[in-house]
């Protein structure tokens, strides 16, 4: 978004105010003026210390309304598992050949899944996959014997989440073209999952700050006391 459009969007709401989820998502849709279908993102500051292993949050959440994005999936598998991955719609399936492509810098995918027996091979690619957030991990269901199911779920709207070094979690909620109810359903799913994943070692207020925004739009702050569904 150009500086002029961004400034115009900011005038449509009070940056210092806090809104209910329904109000905030409506504002985000209203302020999305780019010529493409922007992604709606959610950022949550959690009351955790990510430097401590027992307070790191990582997992996956199924978005009931999907992501609105075609997720390109690479699967490290051989034999019957490889066939299952292809039948489920994986974009790239391989073993040594796939590793060679990645080592050559060809990484035309958004997510990598691997069967457990492939992890010694995948582990050698850690320096390449790790920094890009593409390393398969059992905690996120991307290291599994049931690769067909994993491909289907991630294609259908399952997304990964994890705390960054500052204790923030960023999760896509869909596209601005989604109906408000679809975005809210995805929002509820993420909030429920983060609450479920709260570490026992987390002290004090767990949800510290929450904002939603479109790809090119300003962030809208949510009222942490109004996160429960509104009764119509």
CATH of the domain at 42: 3.30.190.20
Amino acid 1: pLDDT: 45
Count of alpha carbons within 13 angstroms of residue 167, beta-carbon side:
19
Counted domains in the chain: 2
Q: Which of 156, 175, 193 is the last residue of a domain?
A: 156
pLDDT of residue 16 exceeding 60: yes
Question: What is the residue-averaged pLDDT of the chain?
Answer: 90
Do 154 and 71 meet the contact criterion of CB atoms below 8 Å apart? yes
Q: Comparing 227 with 180, which gets the higher pLDDT?
A: 180
Is residue 127 in some structural domain? yes
Mean pLDDT, rounded, for 69-83 = 95
Mean pLDDT, rounded, for 214-219 = 91
Is residue 47 in some structural domain? yes
Give pLDDT tens digits for 109-149.
999 999 999 999 999 999 999 999 899 999 889 999 999 99
Q: Which tokens is 132 given?
A: 């890009």
What are the DSSP calls for 149-218, one per residue?
HHHHHHHHTEEEEEB-TTSEEEEEEEETTS-HHHHHHHHHHHHHHHHHT--TT--S-SEEEEEEEETTSP
Q: Which of 156, 189, 212 is the last residue of a domain?
A: 156
pLDDT of residue 231 exceeding 50: no
Q: Comparing 67 with 1, which gets the higher pLDDT?
A: 67
Query: Domain containing 121: what range?
Result: 73-156
């Amino acid at each position: 978004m150009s500086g002029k459009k961004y400034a115009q969007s900011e005038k449509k709401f009070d940056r210092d105010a806090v809104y209910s989820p329904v109000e905030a998502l409506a504002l985000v849709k209203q302020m999305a003026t780019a010529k493409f279908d922007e992604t709606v993102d959610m950022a949550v500051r959690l009351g955790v210390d990510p430097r401590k292993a027992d307070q790191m949050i990582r997992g996956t959440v199924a978005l009931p309304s999907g992501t609105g994005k075609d997720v390109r999936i690479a699967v490290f598998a051989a034999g019957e598992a490889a066939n299952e991955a292809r039948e489920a719609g994986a974009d790239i399936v391989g073993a040594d050949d796939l590793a060679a492509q990645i080592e050559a810098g060809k990484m035309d995918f958004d997510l990598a899944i691997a069967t457990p027996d492939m992890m010694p091979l995948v582990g050698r690619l850690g320096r390449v996959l790790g920094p890009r957030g593409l390393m398969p991990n059992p905690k996120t269901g991307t290291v599994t014997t049931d690769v067909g199911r994993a491909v289907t779920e991630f294609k259908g709207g399952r997304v990964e989440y994890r705390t960054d070094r500052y204790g923030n979690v960023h999760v896509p909620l869909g596209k601005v073209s989604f109906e408000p109810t679809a975005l809210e359903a995805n929002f509820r799913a993420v909030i429920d999952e983060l609450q479920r994943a709260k570490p026992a070692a987390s002290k004090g207020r767990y949800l510290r700050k929450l904002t939603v925004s479109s790809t090119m739009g300003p962030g809208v702050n949510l009222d942490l006391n109004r996160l429960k569904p509104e009764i119509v």
